[in-house]
Structure 1
Amino acid sequence: MSGTVRTSDGRGRLGNTLSGLAVAIGCVLFLGGFAWGVVEYKPYTVPTDSMTPTVKVGDRVLAQRIDSNEVRRGDVVIFKDPQWGDMPMVKRVVGLGGDEVACCNSQGRLTVNGKGIAEPYLQNNPLAKGRASATNFSSKVPDGQLFVLGDERTNSMDSRVHLQDAEHGSVPLSTVSARVDAIAWPLRGGVMERPKGFAALPGGVSEPGPLRLVVGAILLGVVLILGGSLYGPLARVTGRKKTLAGVR
């Protein structure tokens, strides 16, 4: 009489239940993470090199949708203002309403309310001669406005160009629609660090958005879906091997 091996029905049912649960949770995480990302972020292609080297022309960035009261000094924001050509622009906020922004102090630094700001994101440019701006400027930012600069200070049409405007080169806080949180493509930048040079000023700097959590939820969802889906085929293969080993 040939030998037979009977598998445990209870163990098999438990495995199927757990694999189904893993797939269900994975779907929730994957779809929920994707929906969360769509709600929080919008993609944007940088059209100029005025923010080099932080973001370069043609870079695809992920910008977090924010309210105007969430803007902080040091943020790289996207705004659209008719006085600036009525097209989306990406610049760095260096001054909020009430700030006195000027350049340059004796160390060649940008100053905000008299405090010199370290700006490690600026690249060395011979035209600037080690200064934060090749040209001197100063401005008192009106309430409800922002003073913005490009990181490529020798090739950026920013608040310095609009200093003779009624609002002293600033843009309305209400025109900001998003804050750049990460470089999505090419894969060289990742999540954008908040500049520490503005941290000591009132309000500090903004916290990174939830991008890491969003990506983590999506990736974990993929792992659970794949793991749960592969359980059945792997269990059948393992079961056949055990059966063949028991039939001699």
Structure 2
Amino acid sequence: MSRTQRTDEGRGRLGSVLSGVAVALGCVLFLGGFAWGAVQYQPYTVPTGSMTPTIGAGDRVLAQRIDGDDVRRGDVVVFKQSTWGDLPMVKRVVGIGGDHIACCKDGKLTVNGKEVAEPYLPAGKGAAATGIPATTVPKGRLFLLGDERSGSLDSSVHLGDGEHGSVPRDAVQARVDAVAWPMDKFGMLAEPTGFADMPGGISEPGPLRLMVIAVVVGMVLVLGGAAYGPVAKRLGRGRGRAREAARVG
């Protein structure tokens, strides 16, 4: 066996080992990303347009399972409240226990006297669309509004229920991180920066981006590792024919 052949054989063995490692690592990342996502996230289909334009009727969203105590202002949450129909609903948290909610100042919602910038509302429609009476959120509860303020059955509609239209924190099942479908709206929800300067700040994004990266990298490694064998064989045959032609020449 010539030195060139021995070199090619060594490279082939090393390449086979590396491709096997790539496939194994890719499987771990790919399957691990999906498993991690299944534990952390729950898909929901939003039945109404009360969160338009952030989330439309029929949109499929991915919501991270969280404890109600982790909810902050600006979060879009999935919750169930018996007095609201006892069905999963999706609304935005605009106030937490102790907050004084009022509308409107310069057409904007105010929380504890501070105007809140809400760029996620429909164009040309501000918080004033509902004319929310001033109210204080009871301790341990949340005040929720739809982004489509003029057509949302939210806390503003339930103000006379004895709890100032609020729902208990433990009614929250998950926090929406992203829209998964339709594809033209696919992506993470924008940060509610209007609440960022308030005590407690806003929630950090969940691990969804890391999960997607793990799945994509895993898929690339699996496909790349699996493709190495056929590609290496074709290249080896090409080099062999080139050497044979050189000897004949």
Q: What residue in structure 1 maps to residue 116 of structure 2? A: 117
Q: What residue in structure 1 maps to residue 82 of structure 2? A: 82
Q: What residue in structure 2 maps to residue 180 of structure 1? A: 176
**Paired residues for 1:1-248 under 5 Å:** 6-8=5-7, 9-105=9-105, 107-124=106-123, 130-189=126-185, 190-248=187-245
d(CA) in 2 for partners of 1:157, 1:124: 20
Q: Is the 8 A contact 1:47 1:57 kept in 2?
A: yes
Q: Is the 8 A contact 2:68 2:169 kept in 1?
A: yes
> When the two structures are superposed, what TM-score results if normalisation uses the length of structure 1?
0.94
Instruction: Report sequence identity in percent.
Output: 62
d(CA) in 2 for partners of 1:206, 1:167: 25
Deviation at 1:66, TM superposition (A): 0.7
Closer/same/farther in 2, CA of residues 131 and 211 from structure 1, 3 Å limit: closer
Closer/same/farther in 2, CA of residues 123 and 226 from structure 1, 3 Å limit: same
> When the two structures are superposed, what TM-score results if normalisation uses the length of structure 2?
0.93
User: Which structure 1 segments of 5+ residues have no match?
Assistant: none
Deviation at 1:4, TM superposition (A): 11
Deviation at 1:134, TM superposition (A): 3.1
Deviation at 1:89, TM superposition (A): 0.2
Over aligned residues, Cα RMSD in angstroms? 1.6
Closer/same/farther in 2, CA of residues 167 and 131 from structure 1, 3 Å limit: closer
User: Which structure 2 segments of 5+ residues have no match?
Assistant: none
Closer/same/farther in 2, CA of residues 4 and 242 from structure 1, 3 Å limit: farther
| Residue-pair matches, total | 242
Q: Deviations over 1:115-147 (max 9, x none)?
A: 11011111135xx6x553332312111111000
d(CA) in 1 for partners of 2:120, 2:239: 61
d(CA) in 1 for partners of 2:79, 2:4: 70
d(CA) in 2 for partners of 1:24, 1:62: 28
d(CA) in 2 for partners of 1:123, 1:153: 9
d(CA) in 2 for partners of 1:132, 1:75: 20
Q: Deviations over 1:27-71 (max 9, x none)?
A: 000011110111111111110000001100011110111111210
